[in-house]
Structure 1
Protein backbone atom coordinates (compact mmCIF):
# COMPACT_ATOMS: atom_id res chain seq x y z
CA UNK A 1 0.00 0.00 0.00
CA UNK A 2 1.48 3.32 -1.06
CA UNK A 3 0.23 5.96 1.36
CA UNK A 4 1.92 9.32 1.48
CA UNK A 5 1.21 11.77 4.31
CA UNK A 6 1.33 15.33 3.02
CA UNK A 7 0.91 18.72 4.71
CA UNK A 8 -1.96 21.14 4.23
CA UNK A 9 -2.31 22.94 0.94
CA UNK A 10 -5.25 25.24 0.22
CA UNK A 11 -6.22 23.18 -2.80
CA UNK A 12 -7.18 20.39 -0.36
CA UNK A 13 -9.24 22.55 2.03
CA UNK A 14 -12.52 21.47 0.44
CA UNK A 15 -11.48 17.81 0.66
CA UNK A 16 -10.73 18.30 4.38
CA UNK A 17 -14.28 19.55 4.80
CA UNK A 18 -15.79 16.71 2.71
CA UNK A 19 -13.94 13.94 4.57
CA UNK A 20 -15.04 15.25 7.96
CA UNK A 21 -18.58 16.19 7.00
CA UNK A 22 -19.12 12.67 5.67
CA UNK A 23 -18.36 10.86 8.93
CA UNK A 24 -20.03 13.52 11.06
CA UNK A 25 -23.30 13.15 9.14
CA UNK A 26 -23.04 9.35 9.22
CA UNK A 27 -22.72 9.12 13.03
CA UNK A 28 -23.83 12.50 14.41
CA UNK A 29 -24.42 15.90 12.85
CA UNK A 30 -22.23 18.87 11.92
CA UNK A 31 -21.97 21.13 14.96
CA UNK A 32 -21.29 24.85 14.96
CA UNK A 33 -17.67 24.34 16.01
CA UNK A 34 -17.23 21.85 13.16
CA UNK A 35 -18.54 24.40 10.68
CA UNK A 36 -16.10 27.03 11.93
CA UNK A 37 -13.14 24.64 11.69
CA UNK A 38 -14.12 23.09 8.36
CA UNK A 39 -15.21 26.24 6.52
CA UNK A 40 -12.15 28.22 7.60
CA UNK A 41 -9.52 25.54 8.16
CA UNK A 42 -6.55 27.63 7.05
CA UNK A 43 -7.49 30.66 9.15
CA UNK A 44 -8.74 28.80 12.21
CA UNK A 45 -6.26 25.90 12.36
CA UNK A 46 -3.14 26.66 10.27
CA UNK A 47 -2.85 30.42 10.83
CA UNK A 48 -3.21 30.01 14.60
CA UNK A 49 -0.26 27.61 14.87
CA UNK A 50 -1.96 24.32 14.08
CA UNK A 51 -1.45 21.72 11.38
CA UNK A 52 -3.48 19.69 8.91
CA UNK A 53 -2.17 16.61 7.15
CA UNK A 54 -3.64 14.40 4.45
CA UNK A 55 -3.28 10.75 3.48
CA UNK A 56 -2.70 10.43 -0.24
CA UNK A 57 -3.37 7.00 -1.75
CA UNK A 58 -2.09 6.89 -5.33
CA UNK A 59 -3.45 10.26 -6.51
CA UNK A 60 -6.49 10.48 -4.22
CA UNK A 61 -6.75 12.33 -0.90
CA UNK A 62 -8.38 9.66 1.26
CA UNK A 63 -7.79 10.76 4.85
CA UNK A 64 -6.84 13.64 7.09
CA UNK A 65 -6.30 14.91 10.61
CA UNK A 66 -5.51 18.17 12.32
CA UNK A 67 -3.58 19.43 15.31
CA UNK A 68 -5.27 22.40 16.92
CA UNK A 69 -2.89 24.44 19.05
CA UNK A 70 -3.72 24.75 22.73
CA UNK A 71 -0.28 26.06 23.71
CA UNK A 72 3.30 25.61 22.52
CA UNK A 73 3.59 22.04 23.82
CA UNK A 74 -0.04 20.92 23.91
CA UNK A 75 -2.21 20.24 20.87
CA UNK A 76 -5.63 18.75 20.26
CA UNK A 77 -5.78 15.93 17.74
CA UNK A 78 -8.96 16.36 15.77
CA UNK A 79 -10.79 16.11 12.50
CA UNK A 80 -9.35 12.68 11.80
CA UNK A 81 -11.20 11.02 8.94
CA UNK A 82 -10.74 8.32 6.32
CA UNK A 83 -12.90 8.10 3.20
CA UNK A 84 -15.38 5.23 3.74
CA UNK A 85 -14.29 3.70 0.40
CA UNK A 86 -10.76 3.29 1.79
CA UNK A 87 -11.45 2.17 5.35
CA UNK A 88 -9.95 -1.11 6.48
CA UNK A 89 -6.67 -0.50 4.66
CA UNK A 90 -4.76 0.77 7.71
CA UNK A 91 -4.90 4.42 6.63
CA UNK A 92 -6.15 5.59 10.02
CA UNK A 93 -3.23 3.83 11.69
CA UNK A 94 -0.79 5.42 9.23
CA UNK A 95 -2.24 8.85 9.98
CA UNK A 96 -2.03 8.29 13.73
CA UNK A 97 1.54 6.94 13.58
CA UNK A 98 2.56 9.95 11.53
CA UNK A 99 0.77 12.29 13.97
CA UNK A 100 2.60 10.82 16.95
CA UNK A 101 5.99 10.88 15.23
CA UNK A 102 5.40 14.47 14.15
CA UNK A 103 4.36 15.59 17.63
CA UNK A 104 7.40 13.96 19.25
CA UNK A 105 9.73 15.64 16.74
CA UNK A 106 8.12 18.96 17.63
CA UNK A 107 8.93 18.35 21.29
CA UNK A 108 5.32 18.61 22.42
CA UNK A 109 4.39 17.38 25.88
CA UNK A 110 0.78 16.37 25.41
CA UNK A 111 -1.92 15.60 22.86
CA UNK A 112 -5.59 15.56 23.83
CA UNK A 113 -8.60 14.48 21.84
CA UNK A 114 -12.35 14.33 22.18
CA UNK A 115 -14.33 11.39 20.89
CA UNK A 116 -17.47 9.37 21.41
CA UNK A 117 -18.16 5.91 22.75
CA UNK A 118 -20.29 5.50 19.59
CA UNK A 119 -16.98 5.16 17.71
CA UNK A 120 -15.44 1.98 19.18
CA UNK A 121 -12.98 1.46 16.31
CA UNK A 122 -11.53 4.94 16.80
CA UNK A 123 -11.27 4.46 20.57
CA UNK A 124 -9.55 1.11 20.08
CA UNK A 125 -7.00 2.77 17.79
CA UNK A 126 -6.32 5.61 20.22
CA UNK A 127 -5.86 3.21 23.13
CA UNK A 128 -3.59 1.00 21.01
CA UNK A 129 -1.27 3.98 20.55
CA UNK A 130 -1.19 4.90 24.22
CA UNK A 131 -3.99 7.42 24.72
CA UNK A 132 -5.72 7.15 28.09
CA UNK A 133 -9.12 8.38 29.16
CA UNK A 134 -9.19 11.48 31.35
CA UNK A 135 -11.97 13.48 32.99
CA UNK A 136 -14.22 15.55 30.76
CA UNK A 137 -14.59 19.23 31.56
CA UNK A 138 -18.05 20.76 32.02
CA UNK A 139 -18.14 22.98 28.93
CA UNK A 140 -17.32 20.55 26.16
CA UNK A 141 -16.31 21.82 22.72
CA UNK A 142 -18.55 19.24 21.01
CA UNK A 143 -22.02 17.96 22.01
CA UNK A 144 -21.16 14.47 20.68
CA UNK A 145 -18.11 14.11 22.94
CA UNK A 146 -18.55 11.75 25.83
CA UNK A 147 -14.90 10.81 26.21
CA UNK A 148 -11.66 12.78 26.42
CA UNK A 149 -8.26 11.17 26.04
CA UNK A 150 -4.67 12.30 26.30
CA UNK A 151 -1.22 11.08 25.46
CA UNK A 152 1.77 12.37 27.39
CA UNK A 153 4.77 12.59 25.05
CA UNK A 154 7.62 14.19 26.95
CA UNK A 155 7.56 14.35 30.68
CA UNK A 156 8.73 17.60 32.13
CA UNK A 157 11.80 17.29 34.34
CA UNK A 158 11.04 17.65 38.02
CA UNK A 159 13.21 19.95 40.07
Structure 2
Protein backbone atom coordinates (compact mmCIF):
# COMPACT_ATOMS: atom_id res chain seq x y z
CA UNK A 1 0.00 0.00 0.00
CA UNK A 2 1.20 3.48 -0.77
CA UNK A 3 -0.24 6.89 -0.06
CA UNK A 4 -0.30 9.38 -2.91
CA UNK A 5 -2.54 12.43 -3.25
CA UNK A 6 -5.13 11.02 -0.85
CA UNK A 7 -5.21 7.68 -2.62
CA UNK A 8 -4.19 4.41 -1.05
CA UNK A 9 -3.61 1.93 -3.84
CA UNK A 10 -3.51 -1.83 -3.96
CA UNK A 11 -3.09 -2.87 -7.55
CA UNK A 12 -3.89 -6.20 -9.15
CA UNK A 13 -4.50 -8.17 -5.97
CA UNK A 14 -5.66 -11.75 -5.75
CA UNK A 15 -8.73 -12.01 -3.57
CA UNK A 16 -10.73 -14.80 -2.02
CA UNK A 17 -12.39 -17.04 -4.55
CA UNK A 18 -16.03 -16.89 -5.56
CA UNK A 19 -17.84 -19.49 -7.60
CA UNK A 20 -18.57 -17.00 -10.37
CA UNK A 21 -14.94 -15.80 -10.64
CA UNK A 22 -13.49 -18.22 -13.19
CA UNK A 23 -12.41 -17.83 -16.78
CA UNK A 24 -13.47 -19.98 -19.73
CA UNK A 25 -10.64 -22.45 -19.23
CA UNK A 26 -11.71 -23.10 -15.65
CA UNK A 27 -8.71 -21.38 -14.08
CA UNK A 28 -9.55 -19.14 -11.14
CA UNK A 29 -9.30 -15.48 -12.01
CA UNK A 30 -9.66 -13.53 -8.80
CA UNK A 31 -7.32 -10.68 -9.65
CA UNK A 32 -8.80 -7.22 -9.27
CA UNK A 33 -7.67 -3.65 -9.00
CA UNK A 34 -8.44 -2.22 -5.56
CA UNK A 35 -8.29 1.47 -4.72
CA UNK A 36 -8.82 2.89 -1.26
CA UNK A 37 -9.39 6.66 -1.30
CA UNK A 38 -10.28 9.34 1.23
CA UNK A 39 -14.02 9.93 1.17
CA UNK A 40 -14.14 13.55 2.38
CA UNK A 41 -14.45 15.05 -1.09
CA UNK A 42 -16.90 12.43 -2.32
CA UNK A 43 -19.90 13.06 -0.06
CA UNK A 44 -22.46 11.74 -2.54
CA UNK A 45 -20.75 8.36 -2.79
CA UNK A 46 -20.37 8.26 0.99
CA UNK A 47 -24.04 9.15 1.42
CA UNK A 48 -25.12 6.33 -0.92
CA UNK A 49 -23.03 3.74 0.94
CA UNK A 50 -24.07 5.00 4.38
CA UNK A 51 -27.72 4.87 3.28
CA UNK A 52 -27.38 1.30 2.00
CA UNK A 53 -25.66 0.36 5.26
CA UNK A 54 -28.27 1.91 7.53
CA UNK A 55 -31.16 0.57 5.43
CA UNK A 56 -29.70 -2.92 5.85
CA UNK A 57 -29.44 -2.42 9.61
CA UNK A 58 -32.98 -1.08 9.98
CA UNK A 59 -34.39 -3.86 7.76
CA UNK A 60 -32.85 -6.45 10.09
CA UNK A 61 -33.67 -4.59 13.31
CA UNK A 62 -36.29 -1.80 13.00
CA UNK A 63 -35.42 -0.49 16.48
CA UNK A 64 -32.08 0.63 15.03
CA UNK A 65 -33.83 3.67 13.55
CA UNK A 66 -34.14 5.14 17.07
CA UNK A 67 -30.39 4.80 17.52
CA UNK A 68 -29.75 6.57 14.21
CA UNK A 69 -32.03 9.40 15.29
CA UNK A 70 -30.13 9.80 18.58
CA UNK A 71 -26.81 9.88 16.70
CA UNK A 72 -28.14 12.72 14.55
CA UNK A 73 -27.28 10.51 11.61
CA UNK A 74 -28.88 12.70 8.94
CA UNK A 75 -26.33 15.45 9.62
CA UNK A 76 -23.38 13.07 9.50
CA UNK A 77 -22.98 13.01 5.73
CA UNK A 78 -23.04 16.80 5.63
CA UNK A 79 -20.17 17.04 8.11
CA UNK A 80 -17.82 14.23 7.16
CA UNK A 81 -14.62 16.16 7.92
CA UNK A 82 -15.89 17.17 11.35
CA UNK A 83 -16.75 13.61 12.34
CA UNK A 84 -14.00 11.65 10.56
CA UNK A 85 -11.45 14.33 9.71
CA UNK A 86 -7.72 14.02 9.79
CA UNK A 87 -5.40 13.99 11.63
CA UNK A 88 -7.46 12.16 14.31
CA UNK A 89 -9.94 10.37 12.07
CA UNK A 90 -10.27 8.71 8.70
CA UNK A 91 -12.94 8.05 6.11
CA UNK A 92 -12.20 5.65 3.28
CA UNK A 93 -14.03 4.48 0.21
CA UNK A 94 -12.99 1.27 -1.51
CA UNK A 95 -13.27 0.74 -5.25
CA UNK A 96 -13.01 -2.68 -6.86
CA UNK A 97 -12.15 -2.52 -10.56
CA UNK A 98 -13.31 1.10 -10.58
CA UNK A 99 -16.69 0.45 -8.96
CA UNK A 100 -17.50 1.74 -5.48
CA UNK A 101 -17.61 -1.32 -3.24
CA UNK A 102 -17.41 -0.24 0.39
CA UNK A 103 -16.43 2.18 3.13
CA UNK A 104 -15.08 2.51 6.66
CA UNK A 105 -14.63 5.37 9.13
CA UNK A 106 -12.56 6.16 12.21
CA UNK A 107 -13.35 8.84 14.78
CA UNK A 108 -11.63 10.01 17.93
CA UNK A 109 -13.25 9.25 21.27
CA UNK A 110 -10.43 10.56 23.47
CA UNK A 111 -6.62 10.76 23.31
CA UNK A 112 -6.22 7.01 23.75
CA UNK A 113 -9.37 5.66 22.11
CA UNK A 114 -10.91 5.71 18.67
CA UNK A 115 -14.05 4.17 17.25
CA UNK A 116 -14.44 2.26 14.01
CA UNK A 117 -17.63 3.24 12.19
CA UNK A 118 -19.59 2.27 9.10
CA UNK A 119 -17.65 -0.75 7.83
CA UNK A 120 -19.77 -1.74 4.86
CA UNK A 121 -19.20 -3.80 1.73
CA UNK A 122 -21.91 -3.89 -0.92
CA UNK A 123 -23.54 -7.33 -1.25
CA UNK A 124 -22.21 -7.98 -4.76
CA UNK A 125 -18.63 -7.51 -3.50
CA UNK A 126 -18.83 -9.64 -0.37
CA UNK A 127 -16.80 -12.82 -0.04
CA UNK A 128 -13.69 -11.24 -1.57
CA UNK A 129 -11.97 -10.14 1.65
CA UNK A 130 -12.44 -6.45 0.83
CA UNK A 131 -13.50 -5.73 4.40
CA UNK A 132 -10.11 -7.05 5.51
CA UNK A 133 -8.32 -4.48 3.33
CA UNK A 134 -10.36 -1.69 4.89
CA UNK A 135 -10.00 -2.98 8.45
CA UNK A 136 -6.23 -3.53 8.13
CA UNK A 137 -5.81 -0.02 6.72
CA UNK A 138 -7.81 1.49 9.57
CA UNK A 139 -5.98 -0.46 12.29
CA UNK A 140 -2.63 0.61 10.85
CA UNK A 141 -3.78 4.23 10.75
CA UNK A 142 -5.05 4.10 14.35
CA UNK A 143 -1.67 2.81 15.52
CA UNK A 144 0.18 5.50 13.57
CA UNK A 145 -2.08 8.20 15.04
CA UNK A 146 -1.18 6.90 18.51
CA UNK A 147 -4.43 5.44 19.74
CA UNK A 148 -4.12 2.70 22.35
CA UNK A 149 -7.41 0.97 21.56
CA UNK A 150 -10.14 0.84 18.95
CA UNK A 151 -13.79 0.41 19.92
CA UNK A 152 -16.85 -0.51 17.91
CA UNK A 153 -20.45 -1.46 18.36
CA UNK A 154 -22.30 -3.96 16.23
CA UNK A 155 -25.50 -5.99 16.19
CA UNK A 156 -25.94 -9.74 16.76
CA UNK A 157 -27.25 -10.49 13.25
CA UNK A 158 -23.96 -9.25 11.73
CA UNK A 159 -22.26 -12.58 12.43
CA UNK A 160 -19.74 -12.42 9.59
CA UNK A 161 -18.62 -8.98 10.79
CA UNK A 162 -18.32 -10.22 14.38
CA UNK A 163 -16.17 -13.14 13.21
CA UNK A 164 -13.99 -10.73 11.22
CA UNK A 165 -13.51 -8.50 14.26
CA UNK A 166 -12.61 -11.49 16.43
CA UNK A 167 -10.12 -12.67 13.79
CA UNK A 168 -8.32 -9.33 14.14
CA UNK A 169 -8.26 -9.48 17.94
CA UNK A 170 -11.37 -7.57 18.98
CA UNK A 171 -13.07 -8.85 22.13
CA UNK A 172 -16.38 -8.07 23.80
CA UNK A 173 -16.62 -5.32 26.42
CA UNK A 174 -19.32 -3.41 28.30
CA UNK A 175 -21.11 -0.51 26.61
CA UNK A 176 -18.97 2.57 26.06
CA UNK A 177 -21.45 4.87 24.31
CA UNK A 178 -24.79 4.90 26.14
CA UNK A 179 -26.57 3.30 23.19
CA UNK A 180 -30.30 2.73 23.68
CA UNK A 181 -29.90 -0.50 21.70
CA UNK A 182 -29.97 -3.21 24.34
CA UNK A 183 -29.00 -5.77 21.69
CA UNK A 184 -25.75 -4.02 20.75
CA UNK A 185 -22.46 -5.85 21.07
CA UNK A 186 -19.47 -3.74 22.08
CA UNK A 187 -15.95 -4.71 21.14
CA UNK A 188 -12.42 -3.47 21.72
CA UNK A 189 -9.05 -4.00 20.06
CA UNK A 190 -5.87 -3.27 22.00
CA UNK A 191 -3.58 -1.53 19.55
- TM-score range (shorter-chain normalised) is 0.7 to 0.9
Q: Is the Cα–Cα contact under 8 Å of residues 84 and 106 in structure 2 kept in the other structure?
A: yes
Query: How do 1:6-155 residues align onto structure 2 when only pairs under 5 Å count?
Result: 6-10=37-41, 12-28=42-58, 30=65, 31-32=68-69, 33=71, 34-46=73-85, 49-137=88-176, 139-140=178-179, 143=181, 146-153=184-191
Superimposed CA distance per residue, residues 38-84 of structure 1 (whole angstroms, 9 cap, x where no aligned partner): 33222333279421011121222211111111123311000111122
Name stretches of at least 5 consecutive residues in structure 1 with no aligned partner.
154-159
Deviates more, 1:80-89 or 1:124-133: 80-89
How many corresponding residue pairs? Answer: 151
8 Å Cα contact 1:7-1:52 kept in structure 2: yes
CA RMSD of aligned residues (A): 2.2
Comparing 36-45 with 87-96, greater Cα deviation is found at 36-45
What TM-score, normalized to structure 1?
0.83
After TM superposition, the runs of 4+ consecutive aligned structure 1 residues lying more than 3 A away are 142-145
**Structure 1 CA distance for aligned equivalents of residues 103 and 183 of structure 2:** 19
Match of 1:2 among 8, 33, 48: 33
Higher relative contact order (CA 8 A, sep 6+): 1
Structure 2: which 5+ runs fail to align? Answer: 1-31, 59-63
Aligned partner of residue 2 in structure 1, secondary structure: strand
**Superposition TM-score, scaled by structure 2 size:** 0.70
